[in-house]
Amino acid sequence: MENAFSQPQSVVVFGGSSDIARAIVKKLAAARTRNVVLAGRNQSLLDEAAKEAAEAGVTSISTAIFDANAPLEAGSVVATCFEKAGGIIDLVIIAVGHLGNQLADEKDVAASVNMVNVNFTWPVAALAEIRNRLLEQGSGRILVISSVAAIRVRRNMYLYSGTKAGLDRLCDGLADSLQGTGVSLQILRPGPVRTRMTKGQKDQPFTQSVDQVASDTVKGLSTTKRVITSPPVLEYLFAVLRHLPAPLWRKINEGR
Amino acid sequence: MGRAVHRWRLRVKREQLYGWGHTSPSVADVSEPGSEREVSDALRTNGFVLARGLGRSYGDAAQLAGGHVLVNRLLTKISPLSSEGVITLGAGVSIDELLQLSIPQGWFIPVTPGTRQVTIGGALAADVHGKNHHVDGSIGNHVLGLHLVTPSGAFDVSPNEQADLFWATIGGMGLTGVITSATLQLLPIASDHVVVDTLRFDNLDALMEEMVSHDNDYRYSVAWVDCMTKGASLGRSILTRGDHAPRSETTTLNGPTAPRLKVPFFAPSGLLNQVSIRAFNEAWFRRAPKERSGELQSLSSFFHPLDGVSDWNRLYGKRGFVQYQFVVPDSQSDSVRKAIELLSSSGVPSFLAVLKRFGVANPSPLSFPLPGWTLALDMPVGPGALPSTLDHLDDLVLEAGGRIYLAKDSRLDPSKVRAMYPRLGEFQTIKERVDPSGVLASDLSRRLELLKR
């Protein structure tokens, strides 16, 4: 069970080998997290993440493989992971996401569908099952990793930015639907982060390390805040950016 | 088999439940059984069940996420009070209700916690203690017997009858069954007042010395300690001790009065912070006389000062607060100083802490008190050093051979429970005998892994 400081003991992560998820699990393990299930696409990456979690103090770890391009199977993936965790699940992290390659993907039907599946359809499908199970449990927290890019869709990455925007908005409503049920959902919107996913790209302004994102996240998880922004200052910056006149917004997103 | 058993008549409502500290709520199916039959029916389930009283446990002891919580407020039958002060009470009767009835007849509850707003069932499940533990022990010591409904049947247990199940139920946090009634030996009183002596101390050492040498001259003793001062005034404190007043000219004895004040809504989180709490502690300390003896205080103001303000926990805001209470053995009295040093140097804001001496422990495997010193503090949940400071305190307490109080816990590391409660295995064996499929559980038992999976 989660304690008075909102420190979870049992955590299930979808997208468990993502750099941000790994850093969050490490931070949680420093407090009370001892039981973790990591689900992802690639077994060797999951094994690596599991090893890291064990070193951080997690005593019971299992892994599961799933394909985010197969949303109809999300229900059984969630069921498997919950059973592997056993008992009460305090926190479910959805860290499934794909940055893609805008220039190539925007011309390609299959690649566009893939972007929607991975960033939107699979998480939404999984959330249906997660929501059911946590409602029955009467407790639990869901953390959905969105992005500051979801606040206003950009022309130079509209597939990623747009699919995250869909997920982000949907989760806002989903979180409202959970009021008073003992279950809650929080949205994490990181700014640019140095990860495997962004490797080879030039650092944008406000680029930070996964450790910084993880610190802000763990701090946010101890509150009832709906949206956790990391770094926090971006919350204010994007409050302005989202209201910029369209020509100006297009202008600053010119670079490809 | 084959016969469908469907006697479910309880009205069940899905509801969010909190502890008194207003942290980590969970949702459960909640009902109010009005008879022993309804309790035993509810226990016949594949799911989880837990009894709850007035919700005064600070943490998650009276919550059960996704399970069935039986709020025990309808089992309120009270037998006539015998001339020897023996009374049998439904477990849903509150101490307040008991005192309304017993004080005018010249009887007081032998052990009372800091509030009257707890049920008898809850008080026994937590084996509550009061200002007289050094003389009278905890409430379990004054129970002549109780009726316990378990998944494998109902039992009348007492210190002589199934003593192991009786003592496992005392302090057993509701995990052995649902207490439906209990028989208590009350304490005769000649007055509804207490004669109180007050002493003020500028530091901890002087206080502890005085408590060791003279606490046994009084039935009741408690010290308020400021845990936010450092250096020479570390642990400055106010010691109040007293005993029931002798018969006075005015012979009518009056029961407690209803609260006069109410906190109508949650204060903004952060209202109680380092600055405001430090100021409160300062004022409290300065208000106290250096030395005063023979002051007459009403039973309520001496035993239950906070009951004068209903819903006072809302002052801590929606994020709530944690109460931390530990005990260390007499031989480790130095740990009290170390704990207060740790708290004051961490800058964690805490209201005047309560320091008192415990006497002999009773035979209960999960009861909290053991002979030595106990310190209890209230601290607002907020950003900062609190979680790690308390983890350090746990280590200090554990090293000293002490433990923390389960009824107040909301954040202990489960890996430390077994060392703090070395008789946990014994408790589990007795529990499994009456609850073999593990129906009785709580958020607390899950969080601290008190039960085998």
Q: Report the pLDDT value the prediction gives residue B229, as an integer from 0 to 100.
A: 87
Average pLDDT over residues B235-245: 95
Q: Report the pLDDT value the prediction gives residue B453, as an integer from 0 to 100.
A: 60
- Tokens linked to A196: 């495997």
Q: Report the pLDDT value the prediction gives residue B9, as an integer from 0 to 100.
A: 66
Does pLDDT of B371 surpass 50? yes
Strand partners of residue B183: B88, B145
Q: Report the pLDDT value the prediction gives residue B145, as an integer from 0 to 100.
A: 98
Q: Do B381 and A5 touch (CB under 8 A)?
A: yes
Secondary-structure breakdown of chain A: helix, strand, coil percentages, each rounded to the nearest 5: 50, 15, 35
Encode pLDDT of B142-193 as tens digits: 999 999 999 999 999 999 999 999 999 999 999 999 999 999 999 999 999 9
Task: Measure CB to CB from residue A137 to each of B66, B383, B444 and give the nearest one.
Answer: B66
Decide if B60 touches A, using CB distance below 8 A.
yes
Comparison of pLDDT for B349 and B191, the residue scoring more: B191
Confidence bin at A254 (pLDDT 50/70/90):
confident
Beta-carbon count within 10 A of B329 CB: 16
Contact list in A for residue B319 (CB cut-off 8 A) is 223
- Tokens linked to B416: 């430390």
Q: Report the pLDDT value the prediction gives residue B5, as an integer from 0 to 100.
A: 42
Average pLDDT over residues B308-336: 92
User: Is the Cβ–Cβ distance between B59 and B322 less than 8 Å?
Assistant: yes
Encode pLDDT of A153-166 as tens digits: 999 999 999 999 99
Average pLDDT over residues B47-67: 97
Task: State which amino acid sits at residue A197.
Answer: M
Secondary structure of residue B16 in the 3-state scheme: strand
Q: Report the pLDDT value the prediction gives residue B249, as an integer from 0 to 100.
A: 65
Q: Do B447 and A7 touch (CB under 8 A)?
A: no
Encode pLDDT of A68-101 as tens digits: 999 999 999 999 999 999 999 999 999 999 999 9
Give the Cα separation of A220 and B366 in Å (integer): 35
Confidence bin at B250 (pLDDT 50/70/90):
low
Q: Report the pLDDT value the prediction gives residue B251, as an integer from 0 to 100.
A: 67
Q: Report the pLDDT value the prediction gives residue B284, as an integer from 0 to 100.
A: 83
Confidence bin at B1 (pLDDT 50/70/90):
very low
The rounded percent of chain B whose pLDDT value lies above 70 is 97
User: Is the Cβ–Cβ distance between A88 and B65 less than 8 Å?
Assistant: yes
Q: Do A138 and B65 touch (CB under 8 A)?
A: yes
Residue of B nearest to A140 (CA): B26
Nearest to B55 by CA among B87, B85, B28: B28
Tell me which H or E stretch contains A64. strand A60-65
Q: Report the pLDDT value the prediction gives residue A256, as an integer from 0 to 100.
A: 54
Give the Cα separation of B28 and B177 in Å (integer): 18
Q: Report the pLDDT value the prediction gives residue B8, as an integer from 0 to 100.
A: 54
Q: How far is B25 from chain A (nearest CA, A)?
A: 7
Nearest to B117 by CA among B90, B98, B140, B94: B94
DSSP state of A236: H
Secondary structure of residue B154 in the 3-state scheme: strand
Residue B383 preceded by cis peptide, ω within 30: no
DSSP state of A204: P
Instruction: Spell out the residues 6+ positions from residue B61 whose beta carbon is closer than 8 angstroms to its own.
Output: B19, B126, B173, B174, B406, B407, B409, B442, B443, B444
ipTM computed for the complex = 0.92
Does pLDDT of B285 surpass 90? no
**Taking the complete model, does pTM exceed 0.90, yes or no?**
yes
Report the DSSP pairing between strands A91-94 and A10-14: parallel
- Tokens linked to B155: 């039992």
Nearest to A172 by CA among A162, A186, A193, A152: A186
Give the Cα separation of A50 and A11 in Å (integer): 13
Average pLDDT over all residues of chain A: 95
Q: How far is B410 from chain A (nearest CA, A)?
A: 5
The rounded percent of chain A whose pLDDT value lies above 90 is 93
Q: Report the pLDDT value the prediction gives residue B50, as an integer from 0 to 100.
A: 98
In order of B17, B113, B199, B304, the CA distances from B307 in angstroms are 21, 11, 24, 5
Q: Do A181 and B411 touch (CB under 8 A)?
A: no
Encode pLDDT of B192-222 as tens digits: 999 999 999 999 999 999 999 999 999 999 9
The rounded percent of chain B whose pLDDT value lies above 90 is 79
Q: Report the pLDDT value the prediction gives residue B6, as an integer from 0 to 100.
A: 44
Which residue is it, tokens 């422990």? B361
Q: Do A1 and B410 touch (CB under 8 A)?
A: no
Encode pLDDT of A11-49 as tens digits: 999 999 999 999 999 999 999 999 999 999 999 999 999
Average pLDDT over residues B378-395: 91
Q: How far is A181 from chain B (nearest CA, A)?
A: 6
User: Is the Cβ–Cβ distance between A220 and A146 less than 8 Å?
Assistant: no
Q: Report the pLDDT value the prediction gives residue B4, as an integer from 0 to 100.
A: 40
Catalytic residues of A: 160
Comparison of pLDDT for B5 and A135, the residue scoring more: A135
Task: State which amino acid sits at residue A51.
Answer: K
Query: φ, ψ for residue A31 (rounded to 5)?
Result: -95, -95
Average pLDDT over residues B287-295: 91
Query: φ, ψ for residue A4 (rounded to 5)?
Result: -65, -20
